[in-house]
Each structure stands twice: as C-alpha cells, then as structure tokens.
Chain A
Amino acid sequence: MEHYTMNLNLKVWKQKNAASKGKFETFEVKDISSEMSFLEMFDVLNERLINEGKEPVAFDHDCREGICGMCSMYINGRPHGPWHGTTTCQLHMRAFKDGDTIVVEPWRANAFPVIKDLMVDRTAFDRIIQAGGYISVNTGNAVDGNAIPIEKEHADKSFAAAACIGCGACVAACKNSSAMLFVSAKVSHLALLPQGDPERKTRVLNMVTQMDKEGFGACTNTGACEAVCPKEISIANIARLNGEYTMAALSADNSHD
C-alpha cells in the first residue's frame, strides 16, 4: 500500500454548549498521512489548536476500534463518513486526497441534543432499553447453558442483530430521525431466542412507546439507516419489528378487569 500525505480543509461544527447557537468554522490541516485514522487527524488538529491558544474541537470517542459506539461524526453528509460498514474511528485518511474539503457535523436529531461541538446526548437510547430491551432473569436463576438447544440459524440471526453498537448513525441518516433500526435490532435479538419469548409482546410494545416518547420520527422505509450502519444491521429487522408489534397489539389483553 502506497502512503501519501495531504493538506485538507475542514469545515467543523462548533457549539459551546446545548444552550448556545453553533456555527461552522474552517480549519486547515497539513501533512496528514494516509495511514492515520480520521480521529488521529482530529488529534493533530486539536494539538495544534491548543498550542495556538485556541479551543480544541470536542468529539466523542473511546475504543477507537469500532465497537464501543461512542464516535459519532457526520462526515460529508454521511454518518461515519464515506466507507461502508465503518465507524468514524475506523475510517482512515486514505479515503481522502490532497486538497479535499471535509465537512464534519454532529448527529442531527431532536432526540440527540448537542452537548458541545460534535458531541451529542444519546441517553434516549438507554431509556428505550430500560423500557424492555432485556430478559427479566435475575442472577442465579439460570438453567444449564445447553438445556435449551437453539437452531443455529436463529442464533446467528440473533447475533447479527445484537451486533448493533448503539451509535445512532441510523437516526442521524434518517430524514425522519427515526430510531427504528436501533429498536428493531434489539427486538429481533431477543425475539429470535427462546429465552426472550416470555416477554416478547410487552417488550416490543413498550420499547416502541418509549421510542415515540423520546421524539424519534416514524419509519418510512427509505433504507438510509441500513446503508450507513457501521455494523450492517439489516433493515429486515424493521420488518420483523413491525410483525412483532402487530401480533402483540392484536393479541394484547385490553380488558380492564
């Protein structure tokens, strides 16, 4: 792999805090190696800004290996940038060339208010999980792990849905700011396993109710969420959620005795 260096023009969203109004600021960065990760390019920028006595750009990041779900940059109009199935922290600078202008914004959604610059508040996702994204089993209650065989196909599909990292790219990409891909991934993960069966109906109803309460929009099946998901969570999960929801709603006991 040939390496090269580049000079870039960055247009970055700066916003002091949730209450203040933000705006784009332009920065030039020089001698960026194609071997750097996108966040390492930001490290270079921030080091320079601090040395110049300026405020660095605040952004969320932690594991830098694409699994914690903390990084969240909207790069050139696309959550996590141009590479398919990749988080911001795994995006490398060889995706860009010398002289490029790169526009970087935070996730944009009412349910994800900006905290500072590129950092947003995603606690709405935690509250959706609190509404039912679990199996109610206390520690110590479990039977032997092999007591209930699970069809490999179901286990694999459940795993594929459970691979969601909760980053919120799906919401950021959606024109309606819908959280359906996130919610459906959790509903699918648990609905596909026999252990998740007892709470199957209440789970989907309660999680969807909470999703609406948090201010996420409706799903219109555009598919932008799937296209940008760094873990390539399938939109088929949304279809499964809709099926689960319909079945649960139809069979819900509405008598108030």
Chain B
Amino acid sequence: MNGINGKEDDCNNDGDIKIFFSIQLIMPLESKNPSGPLDQKWTNYKGHCKLVNPANKRKLEIIVVGTGLAGASAAASLGELGYKVKSFCFQDSPRRAHSIAAQGGINAAKNYQNDGDSVYRLFYDTIKGGDYRSRESNVYRLAEVSANIIDQCVAQGVPFAREYGGLLSNRSFGGVQVQRTFYAAGQTGQQLLIGAYQALERQIALGTVEMFSRHEMLDVVVIDGKARGIITRNLITGELERHFGHAVLLCSGGYGNVFYLSTNAMGSNVTAAWKAHKRGALFGNPCYTQIHPTCIPVTGDHQSKLTLMSESLRNDGRIWVPKKQNDTRKGNEIPEDERDYYLERRYPAFGNLVPRDVASRAAKERCDAGYGVGTSKQAVFLDFSDAINRYGKIECSKLGNHNPTAEEIRHHGTEVIKEKYGNLFDMYEKITGENPYNVPMRIYPAVHYTMGGLWVDYELMTNVPGLYALGECNFSDHGANRLGASALMQGLADGYFVIPYTLGNYLADEIRTKEIPTTHPAFEGAEKGVAERISKLMNIKGNETVESFHKRLGKIMWDKCGMARNANGLKEAIAEIQKLRAEFWKNVRIPGDIKEMNPELDKANRVADFLELGELICMDALQREESCGGHFREEYQTPEGEAMRNDDRFMYVSAWEYQNGSGWELHKEELKYEEVKPVQRSYK
C-alpha cells in the first residue's frame, strides 16, 4: 500500500465532491521536545543526533522550495555539507524572494549594548510577545542561535550599520526594553537575503545546488508514507516536471495574501504549503495572522498591495489622533494640547513601542470611535516633529550653537532623521505625494505576517516523515504574535543552524534508499492530478477574472476575520467563502494557454488554494474562544479592551488535518510551560 499517496487527490473545491478513499493519519502529534533542562536541550540534541558521513551525503538528494531567508540559507548550508540539493523559486531569480522587503532589522542576544540582554531575555520576550502560545523549546533554541546568525552574516559581507568605532550598531524594536536589533538602514532584509543568495549562488557554481527559477511547486509526492519528491510547473513553458528527493523542505513563506491586500509581494502564496497540507501535513494555528500597525493607508479600489513603514519608525515617531472627533484640520495645524498620544496614554511603560498586535488594535479602536484622520478617517498620525526638535538641539549643541533658532534646530534635526530613515520617508513621499518631514505620516494597520503555518516538531519536520517546513511557512516560534525583527532571525536560524543538524538525524536512516525513478506510479499519479486541475481551471471559461475573486475573498477575510473577530461574523464568513469558492470553479475566466507563460493561470492556481485556506482560517478562529496575540475575539476581552486568554481551555496548538473532501479534523498539541509562568501580558 502506498500510504497517503495511494489516494486520488482532489477536493471539494469545485462543489463537485469526489471522495475516492480517505486515509486517516495514524501518527500521534509528537513534538519530539528533547528532555533535560531548557538551556541544555539543543546542546544535548546536537551531541546525540545521528550524522551522515560525507560519502553518503553526496548520494542524498534534498529538495528546497523557496529561496527567501529560510530557503536560501538552508539550500546553501546543505550544499556546503555535501548534499545534492535542488532549489526552486517562482520568481526569475532567487534574490527576489519576499524576505528582501523586510525593513527594520534582525534581533540577536549579543548584549553588545551592555543593557542587560541575554539568551534568556530574548527567549522570554519572544514567549511573552507571542502571548504564551508557542513552544518553549523551539523559542529557546531560536534565542540561542541568534548570536551565530549575526556572526555568519558579517562574515558573508552583510554591511550592517556601524558606529564610528567600527563596531555594530543596534536599535530598539517593539515589545522589548533592550536594544538588540541589528540593521542595515531600512533594508535589512535585502542585505541578509543578498548574503544568503550569494552563498546559494556559490553552491550553484560549485555544482552542489541545482537551481530552478520560474518554477512553481504544485504537489508533494508521498511514497510509503514519506515525502519523496515534488511536481513543479515550469512557468515559462508551462510544462509539468517531476523531481525526486530523499527529503523535501518547504520554505515558501506565509499566506497573508489570503486577505488580498497585505504587505506581502504580489506572488506570495500558500500553494506549496497547501499542497503539503492536502497530502497529510497538519496546518498549525492558521488564525494567527499579524496585522502590522504602521502601513500606508488604502487610497481606493485600485489598490493592489499595501506598503509597510518599518516598526523602527516607532523609535522616534509618536502616534496620535486629535482629541476631537472628526477633526478635519491638517496634522501640523492641531495644537499640542489637542492631541491624544493614545499609546503613551494607555501603555506608559512601553509607549509607542508596544507590540504590533496591541498597537494595531489601539489604532482601530480610535478610528472606530471616530477619531481617525485623512479622507478615509481610517488612519492615525505618526509624527516626527518631536524627534526632529530633540535631535536638532543635540546637533546644534555639538556645533557649539547654544542659542539656535527654530529653523536651525529643524534643519539639523531633519538631517538626523534622514540618515536614520531616509529611504522610508522617500518611499512614503513617492506613494502619497506628501512630504513626511513637514507633515505627520498617516498610517493604518495592514496584514503583514502569518504566525500560523505547517505544524512542525522540534526538528522542523511536519507529521509527514521527510517533509520539513522552515521560516514563515511553519507555525513554530512566534505563538499568537510575532515581535518585530524576529522573522529574519527565525528564517535564518532555521536555515543556517537548525536544519543542517535535524535533517541529518532523519537522513542517516535513509542512506540505503536509492533514488526512486520518477516513473513511479506515485509521481505519475501526482502529475496527472496537477494536470487535470489545470485543465479544469482553463476549461471553466467563465465571466469573472481571478483578480476579482481574490479581491472578494480578501474583503470577506478582512471584514470578518481581520483585526477583530466574533462568532457570528466567522460563521457568515465560512458560508460566504464556500459560496465564493463554488462560484470560482464555475465562473472564473483565465485567458491564454496551458503550455506557455501564463501569469493569470499561475494566479488562478494560487487563488484556488487561498479559497480553501480562508475557510480553515475562519474555522480556527471560530473554535478558539479566547483572544490571544493577533487573534482578537470581541467576546473575550478585559474591561480595558485588552486581549483575554483562556489558558484552561486553549493552551494548545490547533493542528488541522485535511479530510479529503469533508472538512478538517482538529488535533491538539498541548503547550507545557516549564520555565515561564504565563500571566496576562501587560505593557502598561
């Protein structure tokens, strides 16, 4: 029996339900959390995990899907170790992956600032920031390897910001009281990704990694219960291809684009992860989505994406709204005593640097109450005038000018802000046409990151043996809310420092497995399934564009499963998504042909998967009858409007199993806190 792969994979996505036979997963939800004290777990694991000798590594093939920070760092590191790696991305070059757009920075417990940082504090901040919904052992390991990441990146030539003494510079980020964020202006993700990309290109040159750009993964091939390969579509020719691997690593990022409007790239999608899910991999905590507080507001129906203004801006920018409702005056015309700096008022201890979920909800609260600004009234001010004034005075003083004019102060202060955030200010001006040095920025929360993802154990392996998920693609480290500058840290931790060890532990038992020819029935069946779905999509020849369906899905998700959720809304959303999905499979219109470059077909493949995922997100949000991190249920809040967890009932990871054609089954991984004592999160 060929295990999971024996089934004819199709779904209820066209309303035409076809169930051949459904196979229950017999595997228990085992996190493989190593025993022993928290700070010894990873050391002990590394000391005892199985190894693969160099001669055998050359015979083992590994597939890596995605070339962002997690994928590029994993492919490069595994290539260096001597494995035969195949790397895939849908963009024209691995350097385009969306990690490139990360702006603010990367955390590491270096304590270079002598301000009390440590591995334990980074661990603690991350657990608390995640609202006590992540696994202690994974998070501790993340904090432990964080320092190695900085060293590795510096060695690769990543040009981090430096002080005049030649040493690395740090800045603050939200949810934290130390300065542990390393950065390269507002382009940290770009510089880290270029570092990983260069390491990857070096392995390609050496022949250890084979690169497939403009390829999209459209199925996982499972043989005898183990992941053994993938089916891809060459996006230039439209041909389907089969690729064998002893293991498959999914590093394909998050699924924020299910909301249509998000800060993600246009191509960011859930497809690779979703195919794995439909082949049996559990999906963890899908409802944990991060709404980032500081993005440029929506201007109209034409909007295709939203642009982030880095959290680092909250170091110097102060967030406020007018004290009067429906105030139509311009920001700089409203006097100081008529401004409500609501974050500083509500959270004096952390002020403007509260975590993202808290800042986003507070902005929504003010706008809903009628204090929003701008034409849409769905925006708040992010104001740098105080910072310009403060820095200006310091600069004038440095120059020996102890009686500066307001103009002189402004001039010098603006220069300082320009050096710190110039590229972000330029970006803001290009999009809005307003000069943020003179008028406060208008910002509003937008979908940014997804904490949920494929369920993985301590070794980053999904419940399907040989199938791994790294970076944003997995659910593992951020609980219900991710802290700023931690996504880059996790992507690189997984790729550079975790998977090279944990993968060997699996592959050591695979050295006798010969390469499976791709003529195997499982490959044939999987390819056939993909081809059938594509031809079905192309043959609908309906009346509505893919984009239009995507927008409609996004609106349902944002309105009913966005920053605030409630049981009624979620139930409505589920019904609406089911209806929309049926409509999609009857009425979508895709121009062009299959065997050619066809971006509309690529998009249709992705949106079809979002239309299934959206339903699961709403179901997860509905069953989680508590508020935690990015998941805010209106029914469960404190009298002050803060998120109210229910640890007695919901101290678990929701891991959803796809039931072929008949919904999902919920599995629970109980979260045991041995080190940290969960309390109500307070930033007051």
Q: A interface vs B, CB < 8 Å?
A: 1, 16-17, 33, 35-37, 39-40, 43-44, 47, 49-51, 53-56, 58, 60-70, 83, 85-86, 90-92, 94, 115-116, 119, 121-123, 125-126, 129-131, 133-146, 148-152, 155-156, 158-159, 162-163, 165-166, 189-190, 193, 195-196
At the interface with chain A, which of B4-12, B194-202, B453-461, B578-586? B194-202
Does B545 touch A at the CB level, under 8 Å?
yes
Residue pair B91, A64 in contact (C-beta under 8 Å): no
Contact A47 B547 (CB under 8 A): yes
Smallest beta-carbon distance B365→chain A, Å: 27
Residues on B with beta carbons closer than 8 Å to the beta carbon of A131: 205
Q: Is the CB of B93 within 8 A of A122?
A: yes
Residues of B near A94 (CB, < 8 A) are 433
Residue B679 at the chain A interface, CB threshold 8 Å? no
CA distance A146 to B170 in the complex (A): 12
Verify if B379 is at the interface (C-beta below 8 Å from A).
no
Take A68-B96, A134-B199 as given contacts and tell me if A62 and B302 are in contact as well, using a CB distance cutoff of 8 Å.
Answer: no
Is B14 among interface residues, defined by CB-CB distance under 8 A? no
Most buried by A among B91, B194, B267: B194
The verdict on A159 contacting B185 (CB below 8 Å), with A116-B597, A145-B110 known, is yes
Complex: chain B residue closest to A57, CB-CB: B599
Closest to A91 in B: B430
28 A-B pairs (CB sep. < 8 Å): A39-B304, A43-B302, A49-B591, A54-B591, A61-B266, A62-B91, A62-B96, A62-B265, A63-B100, A63-B265, A64-B304, A64-B305, A68-B96, A119-B92, A126-B95, A126-B201, A126-B211, A134-B199, A138-B77, A139-B497, A143-B151, A146-B112, A149-B166, A149-B167, A152-B163, A159-B191, A163-B187, A166-B95
* Interface assignment of B369: CB less than 8 Å from any CB of chain A: no
Task: Please determine whether A65 and B96 come into contact, CB atoms closer than 8 angstroms.
Answer: no
Most buried by B among A65, A126, A139, A149: A139
Known: A126-B204, A140-B152. 10 other contacts (CB 8 A): A35-B300, A37-B304, A55-B592, A63-B265, A126-B201, A134-B202, A137-B156, A162-B159, A166-B95, A193-B157
Nearest-Cβ distance from residue B257 to partner chain A, whole angstroms: 12
* Among B95, B159, B201, B304, residue most surrounded by chain A Cβ atoms (within 10 Å): B159
Residues of A within 8 A of B634 (CB): none
Residue of A nearest to B590 (CB): A50
B15 contacts A by Cβ under 8 Å: no
Query: Which 10 A-B pairs give the minimum distances between C-beta atoms?
Result: A149-B166, A134-B198, A142-B155, A142-B151, A1-B433, A159-B159, A130-B205, A145-B154, A139-B77, A62-B265
- B contact residues around A137 at 8 Å (CB): 152, 155-156, 199
Minimum distance in angstroms from B593 CB to a CB of chain A: 10
Of the candidates B97, B156, B190, B548, the one whose C-beta lies within 8 Å of that of A135 is B156
Task: Determine the residue in chain A with the shortest Cβ distance to B434.
Answer: A1
How many Å lie between the Cα of A128 and that of B194 in the bound state?
14
User: Using Cβ atoms and an 8 Å threshold, which residues of chain B touch A69?
Assistant: 95-96, 100
Closest to B96 in A: A68
Residue B654 at the A interface, CB < 8 A?
no
Interface size, B (range): 35 or more
B302 touches A36 (CB 8 A): yes
B236 at the interface (CB under 8 A from A): yes
A149 to B151, CA, bound (A): 13
Which of A33, A51, A62 has the most B CB atoms < 10 Å from its CB? A62
Measured CB to CB, the nearest residue on chain B to A159 is B159
Contact with A along B92-115 (1 / 0, CB 8 A): 111111101100000000101000
Residues of A within 8 A of B427 (CB): 65-66, 90
Distance in angstroms between the alpha carbons of A48 and B198 in the assembled complex: 41
From A43, A67, A193, contact of B187 by CB (8 A): A67
Cβ-neighbour of A68 out of B100, B213, B432 (below 8 A): B100
Q: Is the CB of B201 within 8 A of A134?
A: yes
Q: Is the CB of A142 within 8 A of B154?
A: yes
Q: Is the interface of A mostly helix, strand, loop or mixed?
A: loop
Partner of B166, one of A44, A53, A143, A151: A151
Contact yes or no, B597 A155, CB < 8 A: no
Is B513 interfacial (CB-CB < 8 Å)?
no
B168 within 8 A of A: yes
CB contacts (< 8 Å) of A134 on chain B: these are: 156-157, 198-199, 201-202
Residue of A nearest to B95 (CB): A166
Residue of A43, A70, A83, A145 near B168 (CB, 8 A) is: A145
Does B354 make an interface contact (CB < 8 A)? Answer: no
Question: Taking the complex as formed, is B307 at the interface, i.e. its CB lies under 8 A from any CB of chain A?
Answer: yes
B364 contacts partner chain A, Cβ-Cβ < 8 Å: no
Which residues of B80-97 have CB atoms within 8 Å of chain A's CB atoms? 80, 91-97
Q: Specify which chain A residues have a CB less than 8 angstroms from the CB of B156 in the assembled complex.
A: 134-135, 137, 195
Report B-chain residues with C-beta under 8 Å of the C-beta of A68: 91, 96-98, 100-101, 265
Residues of A with C-beta under 8 A to B148: 140, 142
What residues of A have a CB within 8 angstroms of the CB of B97 in the complex?
68
| Complex Cα gap A185–B157 (Å) | 13
Check if B434 sits within 8 Å of A50, measured CB to CB.
no
**Are the C-beta atoms of A90 and B93 separated by less than 8 Å?**
no
Please name all residues of chain B whose beta carbon is closer than 8 Å to the beta carbon of A55 when the two chains form the complex.
Answer: 591-592
**Could you tell me the distance between the alpha carbons of A77 and B162 in the complex, rounded to whole angstroms?**
39
Q: Quick one: which of B600-629 are within 8 Å of A by CB?
A: 600
Interface flags for B346-379 (1: CB within 8 Å of A; 0: not) read 0000000000000000000000000000000000
Indicate whether A50 sits within 8 Å of B600 (C-beta atoms), given known contacts A35-B300, A65-B427, A92-B431. Answer: yes
- Pick the most buried of A69, A138, A158, A196: most chain B CB atoms within 10 A of its CB: A138
Contact with A along B544-562 (1 / 0, CB 8 A): 0101100000000000000
Chain A residue nearest to B187 (CB atoms) is A163
Nearest B residue (CB) for A42: B304
Question: Please, what's the 1-or-0 string for B123-163, where 1 marks a CB less than 8 Å from any CB in chain A?
Answer: 00000000000000000000000001011111111011111
Given the complex of chains A and B, what is the CA–CA distance between A148 and B96 in angstroms? 30
Q: Which of A62, A129, A162 contacts B191 (CB 8 A)?
A: A162
Inter-chain contacts of B112 with A (CB < 8 A) = 146
**A140 neighbours in B (Cβ, 8 Å):** 148, 152, 497
* A8 to B430 Cα, complex, angstroms: 21
- CB contacts (< 8 Å) of A16 on chain B: these are 596
Check A40–B266 contact: CB distance below 8 A: no
Partner of B430, one of A67, A90, A193: A90
Partner of A64, one of B76, B162, B213, B265: B265
- B431 nearest CB neighbor, chain A only: A92
Closest to A126 in B: B93
B244 adjacent to chain A (CB < 8 Å): no
Tell me the complex Cα distance, A16–B642, Å.
56
Q: Cβ of A129 and Cβ of B155 under 8 Å apart?
A: no
Q: Are A135 and B157 in contact (CB under 8 A)?
A: yes
Taking a contact as CB atoms under 8 Å apart, the answer to whether A58 and B599 are in contact is yes
Docked pose: A115 CA to B596 CA in angstroms: 10
- Docked Cα-Cα span, A149 to B165, in Å, equals 7
Contact residues in A for B302 (Cβ distance below 8 Å): 33, 35-36, 40, 43-44
Residue numbers in A under 8 Å from B597 (CB-CB)? 17, 58, 115-116, 119
For the complex, what is the distance from the CA of A145 to the CA of B148, rounded to whole Å?
A: 9
A50 touches B151 (CB 8 A): no
Cα distance, A58 to B599, chains bound together (Å): 7
With A62-B267, A193-B157 known as contacts, the answer to whether A83 contacts B430 (CB < 8 A) is yes
- Nearest CB on A from B549, distance (A): 12
